[in-house]
Homo-oligomer: A and B are copies of this chain.
Amino acid sequence: MIYKRQGNQTVVFENPPVILSSYSVVGPKEGKGPLGKTFSKVLPDSLNGNKSWEVAESKMLEAAMQGALEQSRLKSDEIDYMLAGDLLNQIISSNFAARTMGLPFIGLYGACSTMALGMAVGSMLIDGGFARNVLVGVSSHHDTAERQYRSPTEQGNQRAMSAQWTVTGAGSLVLAQSGTGPRVTAATIGRVLDFGEKNVNNMGGAMAPAVADTILNHMNDLKRTPADYDLIVSGDLGQVGLMLAKEVLKRSGVETANQFNDCGVMIYDSGQDVHAGGSGCACSAVVFAGDIMQKLNSKQYKRVLLAGSGALHSPTSSLQGESVPGIGHAIVIEA
Contact = CB atoms under 8 A, between A and B. Distances in A.
Contact of A190 (B91, B104, B117, B177): B104
Nearest to A100: B192
A325 B58 CA distance: 14
Nearest to A11: B130
A5 B191 contact: no
Interface in A6-56: 8-9, 11, 14-15, 51-52, 54-55
B130 A106 contact: no
Interface string A204-243: 0000000000000000000000000000000000000000
Contacts of A320: 51-52, 54-55
Contact of A90 (B89, B105, B190): B89
A190 B95 CA distance: 12
Interface residues of A, number: 66
Interface in A111-135: 111, 117, 121, 124-125, 127-132
Contact of A108 (B81, B109, B315): B109
Contact of A191 (B11, B85, B104): B104
Given A96-B322, A105-B189, A129 B327 contact: no
Query: What is the total number of copies of this protein in its complex?
Result: 2
B177 A1 contact: yes
A236 to B, nearest CB: 16
Interface string A187-205: 0011111100000000000
Nearest to A187: B130
Given A90-B314, A111-B90, A193-B99, A106 B121 contact: yes
Contacts of A110: 106-107
Nearest to A194: B99
Interface of A: 1-5, 8-9, 11, 14-15, 51-52, 54-55, 77, 80-81, 85, 88-92, 95-96, 98-99, 102-111, 117, 121, 124-125, 127-132, 148, 177-178, 189-194, 312-317, 320, 322, 325, 327
